[in-house]
C-alpha cells in the first residue's frame, strides 16, 4: 500500500509539472530550460519567444527606444571624436614649427663635463689660442673630417672616445650625435655640433682675428622642422658658409668659394653614403672593420673587456643589416663597390680638369679636407684596399695624409691660412 501511494503521488506530481509548463505564458529562462527541460522543449520555447517578439504580443520583450537611442548616440559620438582626433594629429605633423628668434644656439657650459680625457694631441707650433675637447668615434667619417681639419691646421685638442653602443660620455648633452666639440671661451665652454659647422666656425675664427668665437657660433643657429613624413628634425643653418666681418677671400673668386662649398656638401651627402654598405658588406667584413675600429680607438685601454666585446659583436651585427638598408635608401648599385669607385673617380675627374694637385689648387682647401677625412675613416678596411686597387685615388689620398701629419696648414700662420 505504501509503495502504491508513493507511485500515485509521483505520477500526480509529474502531471502537474507538465501542465504548468504547458500553460506558462512568460518567456522561459534559458538556464532553467537547460536544467529541467528536454532539448525539444528548449527549441519549442525559443520559437515561442521569437514569435511573440516579432508579432508584438509581448511588448516587454522589445528593447526600449530610449536605450536604443542612447546606444546609437554613443557610437556616433565616439566615431566623431575618433575621426576628429585622428585628423588633428595628422594635420599637426605638417604644421610649421615655430623657431623663436633666429633659432637655437648651441649652449655655453659653465664647466667642462666630468669626463675622462682619452688622449691629448699636442702640437708645439699651435698658435691658435684655442683649447678644444673633441667627443668622437675614432672611425666616424664626420669625426675624421674634424680631425683632418685640426691636424692640417696644426691645432692642439683633447679627445674623448665615446662608446658607440652605450654612449655614456655624451649623456651630458641633448645633442646625441658625434662629433661634439667644446671650445674654451669667456664664461665657460662653447659647444659646437655637426662636423661641417665645426669646421666652418673654426675657419671663420682663424681667418679673421676680429671674430669672437661665441659671436661666430651665433651665425649657425639650429632650427626644427617637419619633414615630408611629418617627422620632427633639426638642421644647423649656414653650416657650409664661412663668416667674415670683412672681405677676406684670399684673392679667390666668388665661383671658387661656391665650388668649395658645393663639394664639401657633396662629401657629406653623397660620398659618405657609399661607405657603410661597403665596409659592412658581409658579416666577415663587418667584424673585421670593428676589430680595426677597436685597434685604432684603443678600446682595450678605454673600455672594460665586456664593453669592448659588446661594441665589436653587437655593433658588427647591427651595422651589417643597417648597411643593407642604406644601400636601398641611397640607390647604390647591386655591387656596392662600384658605387664607391664611381664617386671617387668623379672626384678625381674634377681635380684633373683643374690641372692642379688638389681641388684647392697647389694647396688643399676645405673640400679636399672633407673628402680626405671621409675616406680616412675606412683606411684599415678591406673596402679601402679594393678602392686603391681599382681607382687612382691613392696618390691624392696619401699626399693629403702627409699634409695633415705635417700640419701644412699652419705654415702660413693661423689667422691667414689658405681655406
Q: Which of 69, 87, 143, 280 is catalytic?
A: 143
Q: Which of 137, 152, 207, 280 is catalytic?
A: 137
Cα distance from N-terminal residue to C-terminal residue, the chain: 129
Kind plus residue range of the DSSP H or E element containing 133:
strand 132-136
239 contacts 261 by C-beta, under 8 angstroms? no
Helix locations, 101-194, DSSP H: 141-152
Question: Which residue from 356, 371, 359 is spatially nearest to 265, judged by alpha carbons?
Answer: 371
Kindly state the cell numbers that stand for 412: 702660413
Return the pLDDT at 328.
Answer: 95
Residue that has been written with the C-alpha cell 594635420 in this structure:
91
Measure the CA–CA gap between 371 and 400, rounded to whole angstroms: 10
∠ CA 329-224-206, nearest 5°, is 90
Return the pLDDT at 250.
Answer: 65
140 catalytic, yes or no?
yes
∠ CA 305-182-294, nearest 5°, is 25
Return the pLDDT at 324.
Answer: 94
149 contacts 369 by C-beta, under 8 angstroms? yes
* CATH architecture for the domain at 108-410: Up-down Bundle (1.20)
| Beta carbons within 10 angstroms of residue 388's beta carbon | 14
| Alpha carbon 232 to chain centroid, angstroms | 11
Q: How many CA atoms lie within 13 A of 36 on its CB side?
A: 11
Structural domain boundaries of the chain? Answer: 64-93, 108-410
Phi, psi of 108 (to 5 degrees): -105, 120
Q: Which of 140, 219, 344, 381 is catalytic?
A: 140
290 catalytic, yes or no?
no
Whether this prediction's pTM lies above 0.85 is answered by no
219 catalytic, yes or no?
no
> Which class for 104: exposed (0-12), middle (13-18), buried (19 or more C-beta within 10 A)?
middle
142 catalytic, yes or no?
yes
In this structure, the dihedral spanned by the alpha carbons of residues 48, 50, 56 and 61, taken in order and rounded to 10 degrees, is 100
The SS3 of residue 104 is strand
| pLDDT tens, N- to C-terminus, the chain (419 residues) | 333 333 344 444 434 444 443 434 443 343 434 444 445 555 555 455 555 545 554 545 455 556 667 777 777 778 777 776 666 565 555 445 444 544 578 899 999 999 999 999 999 999 999 999 999 998 999 999 999 999 999 999 999 999 887 889 999 999 989 999 999 999 999 999 999 999 999 999 998 877 899 999 999 999 887 777 777 788 999 999 999 876 655 678 889 999 999 999 999 999 999 999 999 999 999 999 999 988 888 888 878 889 889 889 998 999 999 999 999 999 999 999 999 999 999 999 999 999 999 999 999 999 999 999 999 999 999 999 999 999 999 999 999 999 999 999 986 544 434 33
Q: Which of 53, 85, 142, 317 is catalytic?
A: 142
Return the pLDDT at 227.
Answer: 73
The SS3 of residue 254 is helix
Return the pLDDT at 66.
Answer: 65
Amino acid at each position: 500500500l505504501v509503495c502504491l501511494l508513493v507511485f500515485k503521488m509521483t505520477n500526480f506530481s509529474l502531471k502537474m509539472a507538465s501542465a504548468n509548463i504547458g500553460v506558462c505564458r512568460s518567456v522561459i529562462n534559458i538556464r532553467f530550460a537547460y536544467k529541467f527541460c528536454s532539448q525539444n522543449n528548449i527549441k519549442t520555447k525559443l520559437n515561442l519567444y521569437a514569435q511573440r517578439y516579432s508579432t508584438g504580443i509581448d511588448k516587454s520583450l522589445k528593447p526600449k527606444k530610449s536605450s536604443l537611442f542612447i546606444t546609437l548616440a554613443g557610437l556616433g559620438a565616439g566615431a566623431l571624436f575618433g575621426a576628429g582626433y585622428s585628423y588633428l594629429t595628422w594635420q599637426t605633423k605638417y604644421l610649421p614649427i615655430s623657431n623663436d628668434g633666429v633659432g637655437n644656439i648651441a649652449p655655453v657650459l659653465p664647466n667642462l663635463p666630468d669626463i675622462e680625457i682619452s688622449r691629448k694631441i699636442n702640437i708645439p707650433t699651435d698658435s691658435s689660442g684655442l683649447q678644444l675637447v673633441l667627443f668622437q668615434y675614432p672611425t666616424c667619417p664626420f669625426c675624421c673630417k674634424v680631425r683632418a681639419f685640426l691636424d692640417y691646421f696644426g691645432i692642439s685638442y683633447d679627445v674623448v672616445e665615446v662608446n658607440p653602443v652605450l654612449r655614456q660620455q655624451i649623456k651630458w648633452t641633448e645633442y646625441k650625435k658625434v662629433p661634439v666639440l667644446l671650445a674654451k671661451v669667456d664664461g665657460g665652454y662653447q659647444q659646437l655640433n655637426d662636423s661641417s659647422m665645426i669646421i666652418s666656425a673654426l675657419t671663420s675664427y682663424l681667418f679673421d682675428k676680429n671674430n669672437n668665437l661665441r659671436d661666430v657660433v651665433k651665425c649657425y643657429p639650429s632650427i626644427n622642422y617637419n619633414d615630408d613624413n611629418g617627422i620632427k628634425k633639426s638642421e644647423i643653418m649656414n653650416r657650409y658658409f664661412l663668416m667674415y666681418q670683412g672681405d677676406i677671400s684670399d684673392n679667390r673668386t666668388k665661383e671658387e668659394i661656391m665650388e668649395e662649398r658645393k663639394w664639401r656638401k657633396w662629401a657629406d651627402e653623397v660620398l659618405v653614403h657609399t661607405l657603410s654598405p661597403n665596409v659592412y658588406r658581409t658579416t666577415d667584413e663587418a667584424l673585421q672593420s670593428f676589430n680595426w675600429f677597436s685597434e685604432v680607438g684603443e678600446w682595450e685601454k678605454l673600455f672594460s673587456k665586456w664593453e669592448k666585446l659588446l661594441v665589436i659583436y653587437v655593433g658588427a651585427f647591427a651595422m651589417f643589416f643597417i648597411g643593407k638598408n642604406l644601400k636601398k635608401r641611397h640607390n647604390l648599385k647591386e655591387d656596392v663597390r662600384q658605387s664607391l669607385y664611381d664617386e671617387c673617380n668623379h672626384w678625381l675627374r674634377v681635380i684633373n680638369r683643374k690641372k692642379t694637385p688638389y681641388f684647392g689648387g697647389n694647396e688643399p682647401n676645405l673640400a679636399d679636407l672633407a673628402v680626405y677625412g671621409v675616406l680616412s675613416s675606412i683606411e684599415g678596411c678591406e673596402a679601402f684596399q679594393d678602392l686603391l686597387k681599382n681607382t687612382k685615388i691613392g696618390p691624392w689620398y696619401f699626399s693629403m695624409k702627409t699634409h695633415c701629419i705635417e700640419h701644412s696648414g699652419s705654415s702660413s700662420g693661423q689667422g691667414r691660412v689658405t681655406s
